[in-house]
Chain A
Amino acid sequence: MANTAPVHHAGDGETRRDFLLHSTIAFGAVGGAMAVWPLIHSMNPAADTLALSTTEFSLASLQEGQAITVVWRGKPVFVRYRTQAEIDAARNVTLTELVDPAPDADRVKKDKDKYLVLVGVCTHLGCIPLGNKPMDPRGDFGGWFCPCHGSHYDTSGRIRKGPAPANLAVPPYQFLDDTTVRIG
């Protein structure tokens, strides 16, 4: 009964018992974290959600000046067949004027630069900007206008005015043939 307390070696800091205690706590903590990870990760996108990640559509019926909206991963994607004037407007900007500088040429596919493909989600807080329908307001720069907190995007989908911090995102996409596009 009397000899349960460890003999503490004054001066040498750590005892065997401290070492055992600390390594037990460390193993317990690592084990606990490993046990929690499956629970946390179960909240990330599931395999079937990820499987819906590509969308194909055709540009055949799209006329110059028109825009369509397709759905990709539950979000709208804006596809606009730009007029020459809109392309020129997008190209004749000094990059230093832009909030999020990016040349128009980097935001379209080479030789297909009349087609602009953008994720139609405002980079501020996720509203859908207006400007794809003929009657929609297109903002001060002829592209899109987000009504939620007033962000204006230009004809390259770049942010020009308002609280949004970044340009409308260009999704990963490729032309399967002249008029068929696959997003994702």
Chain B
Amino acid sequence: MSTEKSVWRRAYEWHEQRLPIVSFLDHSIGTKYPAPKNLNYFWNFGSLALFMLAVMILTGIFLAMNYTAHKDMAFDSVERIMRDVNFGWLIRYMHANGASFFFIVVYVHIFRGLYYGSYKAPREVLWWIGILIFLAMMATAFMGYVLPWGQMSFWGATVITNLFSAIPVIGDPIVTFLWGGFSVDNPTLNRFFSLHYLLPFVIAALVFLHIWALHIPGSNNPLGIEAAPADKIPFHPYYTSKDAFGLGFFMLFYFAVVFWAPNAMGHPDNYIPANPLVTPPHIVPEWYFLPFYAILRAIPDKLLGVVAMFGAILVLFVIPWLDTSRVRSASFRPWFRVFFWLFVINAVVLTWCGAQLPEGLPLIQGRIATIYYFVFFLVIMPVLGWIETPKPLPASISTPVLKPAE
């Protein structure tokens, strides 16, 4: 009697033999996936990013049911979502602020990787896919911000698409191609909506590759050393519960902003319908683009400014080779740690500069910060690896805990 399987168990096994999806998940994020036992809360941000992607796709699909991608109707359709559609205000505020929180999470995730050396061998391809996701997110958020067709939507789209006109010879045909006309207009809005709907699913596919690439070497950890099998614990239930706790904490902040300060990160000018004949006096992109906007404006030459702005992101692809240190974690690199935190402060300074008018003090500060941004990657990373003496690494993850260093 006791050996007899229940009908549910038999149905489950019948199905698993044909499509082993439960075993697959169990090996990916379940009891069969071993993770280092010393992961700290910075390792929460990967699953938080996945959560935000799901929130964006879900809220986006419902917004799209009430949104009209036409230059004469887009602005009003968004206002209708805000005023007349049941819970439309909630769905839109979750989506608009969700983009900001998605970027907060991903920026912490990237800085985590920089601090703990997660970009180094054998995780270079994993790092590359992460940068591709970041690029796709920026494209998605940029095109999403155009959809409400307010003044900032329109002029942000104009300035950013015009960046491509800096390319010699083929620049202007490219811009006309991007617009589908001779200025940002209805064809531009339509294609941006189409691509804004598409790209999140491209991101989802990239996330799949990202996690696949993660599973080959497994997670890095705060010590940056290889984790022995004895130092690993199953992902479920240990990290599923830790991630769930972190998610609850994160949602307190996210929904505090959604309910009590939903426009704090937006720009009031975007509640003015787009007017192609009047440029607002001061165009600022969304906050998550400000550091790169500051780099663009720090350089007085149009082409070089555009090159520096894209270079600021593309340089991330080669840092596995720019960083010559064999030690991963900054915890064991006394000098790298100093330059890392300077880099974080520098990023905040760039963000601030990007929101100011590019003249006087902010311009000079923007230039200094731009120089440090590139010096950090192109000079400090390679040189420090040679001249810095790292602290001794522990023999294993357990060693410092069981036998504390004298």
Contact = CB atoms under 8 A, between A and B. Distances in A.
Interface stretch (A1-9, A70-78, A105-113): A70-78
A148 B279 CA distance: 8
B163 to A, nearest CB: 7
Nearest to B183: A74
Contact of A43 (B159, B165, B177): B177
A127 B187 contact: no
B162 interface: yes
A43 B158 contact: no
B282 A74 contact: no
Interface stretch (B44-52, B242-250, B296-304, B321-329): B296-304
B185 interface: yes
A74 B154 CA distance: 13
Contacts, number: 76
B123 interface: no
A101 B328 CA distance: 54
A127 B176 contact: no
A44 B276 CA distance: 20
B277 A49 contact: no
B interface residue count range (under 10 / 10 to 19 / 20 to 34 / 35 or more) = 20 to 34
Given A44-B177, A150-B359, A75 B302 contact: no
A74 B276 contact: yes
A49 B277 CA distance: 18
A77 B162 CA distance: 18
Contact of B162 (A76, A126, A163): A126
B181 interface: yes
Given A124-B302, A147-B281, A150-B359, A45 B180 contact: yes
A165 interface: yes
Given A128-B277, A163-B301, A148 B176 contact: no
B155 A44 contact: no
Contacts of B359: 150
B190 to A, nearest CB: 10
A164 B161 CA distance: 16
Nearest to A73: B182
Interface of A: 43-46, 49, 69, 71, 73-76, 121, 124-128, 147-150, 163-165
28 contacts: A43-B178, A44-B176, A44-B177, A44-B180, A45-B176, A45-B180, A46-B187, A49-B180, A49-B181, A49-B182, A71-B277, A73-B181, A74-B182, A75-B182, A76-B276, A121-B183, A124-B162, A126-B161, A126-B165, A127-B158, A127-B279, A127-B283, A128-B277, A147-B282, A149-B297, A163-B301, A165-B301, A165-B303
